């Protein structure tokens, strides 16, 4: 692991919303939020390569501009400057912003190898954790986000963000980052400090009134969390402490793999051909990039882990409900509006000869079924997943639709965007390819010996599924 002396903390400060006119603001949690109430934080790092970057330019230009634009962006995203809290008389927690609340920002300098940390190659998984801030959480109060900006002299800088999953899903958190970047890139950083208006697609919509809960899912989900116990858990049922990491590996390594647009096109053609041969309804199959890539990665993971044929495997992902609710809600709704979905099968069904095709078919059927009733069986969903704790879970964090590689603060697009938190959840991360040519990038964390097998399987599988 990267040695501790490679990271020097330069400053710890609080960035507050720009206007003093910001007044107290509260936001209730919906059942979509409570579903993720005590999940570990979602953590990402945005790496920016600047080979001539000096400490003086970073401290006099980049850092002040990032802080000023963050302060103005928070005006549009006030809940992020607040805290999750649980008032004594309230039946559920709320998000509360009070004047002078703000976001904790750590500024650091590192002499670590930026190229190594931001590369796609196999590296120790814990190395990049130095670039991630701990999300402040106590029994009674939890921050919504925390930020860490790290300078790598003559190499670049990175922005690490840790966000509370009960407050926002991936679409919302990346909307905020992109809004902050937009304001930073286009701001006039002169004496008047003029900041641009947010683009319509980056303007959050906070109104919760369209989220209906006729089945009482809020309390069903909240009661599940209150009844959940784990080693070292707080006896206070109203504690806001988060559950510990669900995955603990002995020698975890991290790597990133890419399927080009051409790779995915070949997979799609091969699957379509196989479906026609077996007289399946090939035309109705949902052969999206997500389905083809997730199935490929899942089969490779199962094989690399050498799971017994009867070991249960859960393939899980979060489905965006914004456009699938009846009626649909605003596309820029800010908060959580995703529901966990997935199907389980025996490892043997994925590792055998037709495992990839079977995974594609099942994922395709599942996603097509979401259009008919995305919230079907929601009342029993948490209980079902909790009873499958012994299964090998392969989840997905992120989406190719989040456009993370378009996050330009004014010094170019990211060299790399990493979803760091997958080392604690066992998920794979997914994003659009950096080159914008229709490919897909996935990141994952495995034991070192498993990663060696996965690397070989991932390449071979493109030709042999």
Domain CATH for 41: 3.30.559.10
> Do 270 and 211 share a structural domain?
no
pLDDT of residue 73: 96
* Phi, psi (deg, nearest 5) at residue 461: -65, -25
Report the C-alpha gap between 29 and 294 in whole angstroms: 30
Higher pLDDT residue, 390 or 238?
Answer: 238
Is the pLDDT at 462 greater than 90? The verdict is no
Clarify whether residues 68 and 193 are in a common domain.
Answer: yes
Say if residue 284 is in the same domain as residue 222. no
Report the pLDDT value the prediction gives residue 251, as an integer from 0 to 100: 92
For residue 335, tell me if it sits in a domain: yes
Distance CA 98, CA 300 (A): 48
Burial class (CB in 10 A: 0-12, 13-18, 19+), 278: exposed
Q: Is the domain of 206 the same as that of 290? A: no
The pTM of this model reads: 0.95
**Which one of 172, 193, 227 terminates a domain?**
227
Q: Is residue 233 part of a domain?
A: no
| Residue 206 and residue 340 in one domain | no
Provide the pLDDT for residue 233. 75
Does the structure show a pLDDT above 50 at 289?
Answer: yes
Considering the domain boundaries, does residue 246 fall inside one?
Answer: no
Instruction: Specify whether 205 is located in the same domain as 257.
Output: no
Regarding whether 337 and 199 lie in a shared domain, the answer is no
Element spanning 276, H or E: helix 261-277
**Could you give the residue numbers annotated as active site?**
165, 408
> What is the number of domains present in the chain?
2
Q: Mean pLDDT, to the nearest integer, of 188-201?
A: 71
Q: Please indicate, yes or no, whether residues 282 and 181 belong to a single structural domain of this protein.
A: no
Omega before residue 327 within 30° of 0, cis = yes
CA distance 83 to 79: 7
Provide the pLDDT for residue 197: 85
Give me the mean pLDDT over the 189-197 stretch.
Answer: 61
Asked whether residue 247 is assigned to any structural domain, the reply reads: no
**pLDDT, mean over the chain:** 92
Q: What is the pLDDT of residue 194?
A: 64
**Looking at residues 87-92, what average pLDDT do you find?**
94
Domain span at residue 155 reads 4-227
Within a domain: residue 202? yes
In the predicted structure, residue 103 carries a pLDDT above the cut 80: yes
Please tell me the predicted confidence (pLDDT) of residue 1. 40
Same domain, 105 and 215: yes
Task: Say whether pLDDT at 2 is over 50.
Answer: no
pLDDT at 390: 66
* pLDDT higher at 89 or 385: 89
Of 230-239, 394-403, 424-433, least confident by mean pLDDT is 230-239
The mean per-residue pLDDT over the stretch 336-357 comes to 93
pLDDT of residue 389: 66
Query: Do 303 and 405 share a structural domain?
Result: yes
The reply to whether 242 falls in a domain is no
**Same domain as 457, residue 333:** yes
215 and 264 within one domain: no
Phi, psi (deg, nearest 5) at residue 217: -65, -30
């Amino acid at each position: 692991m990267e040695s501790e002396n490679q990271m020097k903390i330069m400053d710890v400060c609080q960035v507050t919303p720009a206007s003093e006119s910001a007044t107290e603001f509260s936001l209730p949690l919906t059942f979509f939020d409570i579903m993720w109430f005590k999940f570990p934080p979602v953590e990402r790092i945005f790496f920016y390569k600047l080979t001539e970057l000096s400490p003086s330019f970073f401290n006099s230009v980049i850092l002040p501009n990032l802080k000023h634009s963050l302060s103005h962006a928070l005006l549009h995203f006030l809940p992020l400057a607040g805290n999750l809290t649980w008032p004594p008389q309230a039946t559920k927690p709320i998000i509360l912003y009070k004047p002078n609340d703000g976001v904790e920002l750590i500024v650091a300098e590192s002499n670590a190898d930026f190229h190594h940390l931001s590369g796609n190659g196999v590296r120790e998984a814990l190395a990049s954790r130095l670039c991630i801030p701990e999300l402040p959480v106590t029994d009674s109060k939890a921050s919504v986000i925390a930020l860490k900006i790290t300078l790598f002299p003559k190499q670049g800088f990175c922005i690490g963000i840790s966000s509370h999953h009960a407050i926002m899903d991936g679409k919302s958190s990346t909307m905020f980052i992109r809004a902050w970047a937009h304001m930073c890139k286009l701001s006039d950083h002169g004496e008047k400090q003029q900041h641009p208006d947010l683009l319509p697609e980056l303007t959050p919509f906070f109104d919760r009134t369209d989220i209906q809960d006729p089945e009482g899912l809020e309390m069903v989900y909240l009661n599940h969390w209150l009844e959940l116990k784990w080693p070292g858990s707080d006896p206070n049922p109203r504690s806001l402490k988060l559950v510990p990491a669900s995955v603990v590996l002995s020698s975890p390594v991290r790597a990133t793999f890419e399927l080009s647009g051409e790779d995915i096109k070949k997979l799609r053609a091969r699957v379509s051909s196989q479906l026609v041969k077996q007289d399946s309804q090939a035309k109705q199959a949902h052969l999206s990039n997500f389905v083809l890539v997730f199935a490929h990665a899942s089969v490779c993971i199962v094989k690399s882990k050498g799971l017994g044929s009867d070991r249960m495997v859960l393939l899980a992902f979060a489905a965006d409900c914004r456009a699938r609710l009846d009626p649909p809600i605003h596309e820029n709704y800010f908060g959580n509006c995703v529901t966990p979905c997935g199907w389980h099968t025996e490892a043997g069904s994925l590792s055998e000869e037709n495992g990839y095709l079977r995974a594609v078919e099942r994922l395709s059927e599942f996603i097509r079924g979401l259009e008919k009733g995305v919230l079907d069986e929601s009342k029993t969903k948490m209980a079902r997943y909790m009873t499958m704790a012994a299964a090998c879970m392969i989840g997905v964090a992120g989406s190719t639709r989040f456009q993370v590689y378009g996050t330009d603060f004014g010094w170019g697009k990211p060299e790399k965007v990493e979803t760091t938190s997958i080392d604690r959840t066992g998920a794979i991360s997914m994003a659009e390819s950096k080159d914008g040519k229709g490919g897909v990038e996935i990141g994952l964390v495995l034991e070192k010996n498993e990663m060696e097998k996965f690397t070989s399987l991932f390449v071979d599988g493109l030709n042999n599924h």
